[in-house]
């Protein structure tokens, strides 16, 4: 969620000290943890806000509670909001788990694609307890990478359900009773009877299998409520069936008693081929029989890159067609498209003009400290400008930009008073001090001043902190000592771990807080307390964070962080291509005329933003910030043209009144000549988007004018690369981050000898 106006564990020597801020503010001592030259607070700064203290969990939950997940409302609320694991939708209620299949009810119009569960009282059925008790709450009782367990308890009666992404099953175990299934209307029973443990039923056109233990029976047939009598066996499951055939029911019965107990994603970047291999694994517990594995429905961004054998059964979802698979795991293989610290010095720009833009940026007066989002935007702007100034040889501008980046990073990565320039703080005013605070209860790092719910809702951390990480990577590119653990590296790694901890046993943060391994993209809201589920608007800001991790990992020699960034980056852009952009034209509903779904929710895809209905903002929010890791936006030039043409139509022409610089840069991915013409015709008083600059726009547009369009079919055996094609000429770009020359081999047979710490363009 975002509302703007616009790896592994590391051990550090930790020293806790007292920090007394300047006198006269009525503030007491605060505990500070030092990490080398950096530090963070472990007590809440006076006047600051933090998340609610209550976490709805059972004592059985181990580790820090995940936030920013599709099921997060379960941890933040007495019961939960509607959740969208797909193909099912579920909600915890006082009666048990409400279950619904939206697939055959998905609609669309110009505003959105709608696939949400109806409000309270609607749905297909409720899986509850035979005692008919009112449960006082529902609590998280366990979780894995894409499954969650919810516990309901009322005295001697208990119900524990588990469900997850892609699973057509809901599994249940009971205490003091058995399963009661209450339907929205009397179901049609087309297989089984009161003496069979398995029933095939249809309600409102949706087909379900109900799987009681062997030897169990049923009561209530012919009514809206069916009760299973298991003879003391405390397990049960139900499943959404693709059709009402006996063959399908038999297939699902084979797996119904193998309850999923763990789900796990693992990834491997293969430099020699430039391929990311991702494995999705299921662990099951057989309550009957010896079946292992499960049935699972894969999203388009998964099945498009996986090998599927035999006929494929499908479900409909708001994300498009989901395809049914079976087994204990499946693997996807995606090409990593490469990232760069910036575009190279290959454009046909006027050097004097570009230097003028750079000088304007270097001389720009900077305001006092702002919140983590807007401070991040400034850091991102600096990180983009510095390599441009470096390449053009504008040493004065480069030096001033680097000095500002250094000051700002040091200012934010220390929670103690430091001598800062008036560009970043006001002497003697503690409110001007930016810092990070660790909240032990939720296991999260919160930056203050906070904004857009980053403190109380834990929203948008990857958006905010991604800018800091990319700026730190730029600093590390030329100053390895700064990035060492005894300087500022420890704090940067802490920011990375907050948004993307890779150690499931980590003691400070949950695993991959902001990224959903199965959905393939990030979620922005920390609590997901919305009827449409969780959401993410600015997918491009998520990508910028993962790009920053790649650059940081390569600059510091941290292969684990680099490869984690590659996993997140590659997977997220695959999801963006499918669900935000629908570049293949197969996932968006036929009645949705827009060229982009700018906000992806669990239960819908919306054509709008949190903050503006302006067409430039609606499109541009999934482009910004444009940097050396943004070339993925041009991997499908036909789509880029479609999206741009739709923007022109919605805007009534090319008279842009917001973010025109972003529009020109996006346009350049498909037609750089048009972008140059529009850039040259801009008003004299033109002001770029706050995270961007005229220097970056000019440099980007003219580079693409020479280099051409992105060539997505060629990979390299080194991650900092790009391939572009202009007519018959293919250009291979490499930035070598190491202190030694390197030979980079491309999949088309080209070899490029790259000098140390520099670009090579061939």
Paired tokens of 173: 């175990």
CB count within 10 Å of CB 33 equals 18
Written as one string, the DSSP assignment of 359-421 is: HHHHT----S---HHHHHHHHHHHHHHHHHHHHHT-HHHHHHHHHHHHHHHHHHS-SS-----
Q: Does 571 lie in the same domain as 669?
A: yes
Clarify whether 541 is annotated catalytic. yes
Looking up tokens 């035979």, which residue turns up? Answer: 130
**Catalytic annotation, pick one of 50, 455, 541, 711:** 541
In a domain, 432, yes or no: yes
Q: Does 622 lie in the same domain as 530?
A: yes
**Catalytic annotation, pick one of 404, 460, 485, 711:** 460
Q: Does 693 lie in the same domain as 717?
A: no
168-185 pLDDT, tens digit per residue, is 999 999 999 999 999 999
For residues 131-154, average pLDDT: 97
Compute the distance between CA of residue 604 and CA of residue 419 in angstroms, rounded to an integer: 49
Compute the distance between CA of residue 509 and CA of residue 512 in angstroms, rounded to an integer: 9
Q: Does 435 lie in the same domain as 470?
A: yes
The maximal CA–CA distance of the chain, rounded, in angstroms, is 86
Q: Name the phi and psi angles at 606, rounded to 5.
A: -110, 150
pLDDT of residue 417: 59
In a domain, 587, yes or no: yes
Cα→Cα distances 131→126, 228, 639, Å: 14, 12, 55
Under the banding of pLDDT at 50, 70 and 90, the label for residue 309 is: confident
370-426 pLDDT, tens digit per residue, is 899 999 999 999 999 999 999 999 999 999 999 999 999 999 999 985 443 333 333
Specify the pairing of strand 535-536 against strand 112-114: unpaired
502-539 pLDDT, tens digit per residue, is 999 999 999 999 999 999 999 999 999 999 999 999 99
- Determine whether 523 is exposed, middle or buried from the number of CB atoms within 10 Å of its CB (0-12, 13-18, 19+): buried
Per-residue pLDDT at 265 exceeds 90: yes
Dihedral of CA atoms 336, 749, 709, 693 in degrees, nearest 10, equals: 60
Q: Are 690 and 697 in contact (CB under 8 A)?
A: no
For residues 730-750, average pLDDT: 97
Dihedral of CA atoms 456, 460, 464, 466 in degrees, nearest 10, equals: 140
In a domain, 335, yes or no: no
**Catalytic annotation, pick one of 50, 398, 537, 577:** 537
**Domain edge (last residue) among 261, 279, 302:** 261
Compute the distance between CA of residue 35 and CA of residue 491 in angstroms, rounded to an integer: 6
Under the banding of pLDDT at 50, 70 and 90, the label for residue 364 is: confident
Q: At what angle do helices 395-412 and 372-392 cross, to 10 degrees?
A: 150
636-686 pLDDT, tens digit per residue, is 999 999 999 999 999 999 999 999 999 999 999 999 999 999 999 999 999
pLDDT of residue 17: 32
b/e 443-463 (16+ beta carbons within 10 angstroms → b): bbbbbbbbbbbbbebbbbbbb
- The residue range of the domain holding 689 is 351-700
CATH code for the domain in which residue 155 is found = 2.70.98.30
Q: Does 652 lie in the same domain as 728?
A: no
Looking up tokens 């004592």, which residue turns up? Answer: 59
Under the banding of pLDDT at 50, 70 and 90, the label for residue 311 is: low
Residue whose C-alpha is closest to residue 540's, from 665, 362, 706, 712:
665
In a domain, 280, yes or no: no
In a domain, 308, yes or no: no
Compute the distance between CA of residue 527 and CA of residue 80 in angstroms, rounded to an integer: 10
Compute the distance between CA of residue 63 and CA of residue 505 in angstroms, rounded to an integer: 7
CA 671 to chain centre: 30
| DSSP-H helix ranges across 438-481 | 461-478
Compute the distance between CA of residue 532 and CA of residue 82 in angstroms, rounded to an integer: 7
In a domain, 9, yes or no: no
Dihedral of CA atoms 29, 30, 35, 37 in degrees, nearest 10, equals: -50
558-588 pLDDT, tens digit per residue, is 999 999 999 999 999 999 999 999 999 999 9
Q: Are 521 and 547 in contact (CB under 8 A)?
A: no
Q: Does 97 lie in the same domain as 239?
A: yes
Specify the pairing of strand 125-129 against strand 179-183: antiparallel
Paired tokens of 699: 């440099």
pLDDT of residue 121: 76
Per-residue pLDDT at 18 exceeds 90: no
- List 723's β-bridge partners, or say none: 732
Q: Are 88 and 240 in contact (CB under 8 A)?
A: yes
Q: Does 756 lie in the same domain as 629?
A: no
Q: At what angle do helices 461-478 and 539-556 cross, to 10 degrees?
A: 30
Q: How many domains does the chain have?
A: 3
**Domain edge (last residue) among 700, 727, 748:** 700
**Domain edge (last residue) among 650, 675, 700:** 700
Per-residue pLDDT at 557 exceeds 80: yes
In a domain, 340, yes or no: no
Of residues 458 and 30, the one with the higher pLDDT is: 458
Q: Does 721 lie in the same domain as 596?
A: no
- With a pLDDT cut of 70, the percent of the chain lying above it is 93
Per-residue pLDDT at 27 exceeds 70: no
Q: Which long-range CB contacts under 8 A does 352-355 form with residues at least 24 apart? A: 353/698, 354/388, 354/392, 354/695, 354/698, 354/699, 355/392, 355/394, 355/397
In a domain, 333, yes or no: no
CATH code for the domain in which residue 390 is found = 1.50.10
Q: Does 664 lie in the same domain as 605?
A: yes
Average pLDDT value over all residues in the chain: 93
Q: Does 717 lie in the same domain as 576?
A: no
Looking up tokens 């949706």, which residue turns up? Answer: 206
Q: Does 206 lie in the same domain as 142?
A: yes
Of residues 366 and 446, the one with the higher pLDDT is: 446
The model carries a pTM of 0.94
pLDDT of residue 433: 82
Per-residue pLDDT at 40 exceeds 70: yes
Q: Does 489 lie in the same domain as 542?
A: yes
């Amino acid at each position: 969620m975002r509302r703007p106006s616009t790896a592994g564990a590391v051990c550090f020597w930790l020293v806790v000290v007292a920090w007394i801020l300047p006198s006269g503010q009525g503030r007491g001592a605060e505990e500070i943890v030092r990490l080398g030259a950096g530090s963070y607070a472990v007590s809440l700064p006076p006047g600051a806000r933090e998340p609610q203290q209550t976490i709805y969990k059972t004592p059985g939950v181990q580790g820090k509670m995940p936030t920013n997940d599709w099921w997060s409302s379960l941890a933040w609320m007495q019961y939960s909001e509607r959740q969208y694991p797909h193909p099912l939708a579920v909600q915890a209620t006082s009666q048990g788990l409400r279950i619904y299949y939206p697939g055959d009810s998905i609609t669309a119009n110009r505003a959105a694609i709608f696939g949400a569960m109806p409000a309270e009282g609607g749905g297909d059925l409720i899986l509850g307890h035979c005692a008919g008790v009112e449960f006082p709450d529902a609590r998280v009782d366990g979780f894995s990478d894409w499954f969650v367990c919810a516990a309901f308890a009322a005295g001697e009666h208990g119900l524990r359900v588990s469900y997850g992404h892609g699973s057509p099953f809901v599994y249940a175990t009971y205490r003091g009773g058995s399963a009661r299934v209450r339907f929205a209307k009397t179901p049609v029973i087309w297989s089984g009877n009161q003496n069979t443990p398995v029933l095939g039923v249809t309600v409102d056109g949706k087909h379900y299998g109900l799987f009681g233990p062997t030897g169990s029976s049923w009561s209530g047939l012919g009514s809206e409520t069916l009760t299973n009598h298991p003879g003391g066996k405390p397990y049960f499951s139900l499943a959404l069936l693709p059709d009402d055939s006996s063959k399908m029911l038999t297939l699902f019965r084979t797996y119904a008693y193998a309850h999923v107990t763990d789900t796990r994603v693992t990834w491997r970047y293969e430099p020699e081929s430039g391929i990311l291999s991702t494995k999705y694994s299921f662990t099951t517990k057989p309550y009957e029989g010896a079946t292992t594995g499960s049935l699972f429905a894969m999203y388009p961004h998964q099945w498009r890159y996986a090998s599927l054998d035999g006929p494929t059964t499908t479900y409909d979802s708001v994300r498009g067609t989901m395809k049914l698979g079976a087994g204990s795991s499946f693997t996807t293989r995606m090409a990593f498209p490469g990232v760069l610290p910036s575009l190279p010095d290959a454009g046909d720009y006027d050097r004097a003009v570009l230097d003028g833009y750079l000088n304007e940026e270097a001389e720009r007066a900077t305001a006092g400290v702002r919140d983590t989002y807007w401070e991040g935007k400034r850091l991102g702007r600096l990180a983009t400008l510095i390599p441009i100034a470096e390449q053009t040889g504008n040493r004065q501008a480069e030096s001033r930009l680097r000095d500002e980046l250094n000051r700002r990073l040091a200012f934010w990565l220390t929670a103690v008073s430091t001598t800062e320039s008036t560009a970043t703080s006001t002497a003697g005013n503690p409110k001007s001090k930016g810092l990070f605070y660790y909240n032990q209860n939720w296991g999260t790092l919160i930056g203050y001043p906070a904004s857009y719910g980053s403190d109380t809702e834990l929203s948008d951390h990857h958006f905010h902190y991604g800018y800091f990480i990319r700026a730190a990577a730029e600093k590390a590119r030329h100053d390895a000592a700064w990035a060492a653990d005894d300087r500022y590296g420890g704090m940067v790694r802490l920011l990375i771990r907050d948004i993307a901890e890779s150690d499931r046993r980590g003691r400070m943060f949950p695993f991959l807080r902001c990224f959903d391994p199965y959905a393939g993209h990030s979620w922005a809201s920390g609590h997901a307390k919305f009827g449409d589920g969780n959401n993410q608007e600015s997918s491009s800001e998520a990508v910028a964070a993962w790009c920053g991790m790649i650059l940081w990992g390569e600059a510091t020699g941290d292969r684990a962080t680099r490869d984690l960034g590659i996993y997140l980056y590659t997977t997220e852009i695959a999801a963006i291509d499918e669900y935000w952009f629908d570049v293949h034209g197969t996932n968006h509903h036929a009645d949705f005329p827009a060229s982009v779904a700018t906000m992806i929710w669990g239960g819908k895809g919306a054509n709008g933003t949190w903050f503006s209905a302006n067409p430039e903002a609606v499109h541009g929010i999934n482009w910004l910030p444009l940097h050396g890791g943004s070339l993925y936006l041009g991997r499908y030039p036909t789509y880029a043209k479609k999206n741009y043409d739709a923007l022109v139509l919605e805007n009534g022409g090319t008279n842009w009144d917001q973010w025109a610089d972003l529009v020109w840069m996006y346009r350049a991915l498909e037609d750089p000549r048009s972008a140059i013409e529009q850039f040259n015709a801009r008003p004299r008083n033109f002001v770029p988007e706050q995270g961007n600059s005229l220097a970056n726009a000019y440099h980007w547009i003219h580079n693409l004018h020479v280099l051409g369009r992105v060539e997505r079919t060629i990979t390299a055996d080194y991650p900092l690369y790009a391939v572009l094609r202009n007519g018959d000429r293919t250009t291979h770009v490499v930035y070598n981050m190491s202190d030694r020359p390197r030979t980079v081999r491309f999949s088309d047979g080209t070899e490029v000898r790259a000098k140390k710490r520099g670009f090579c363009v061939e």
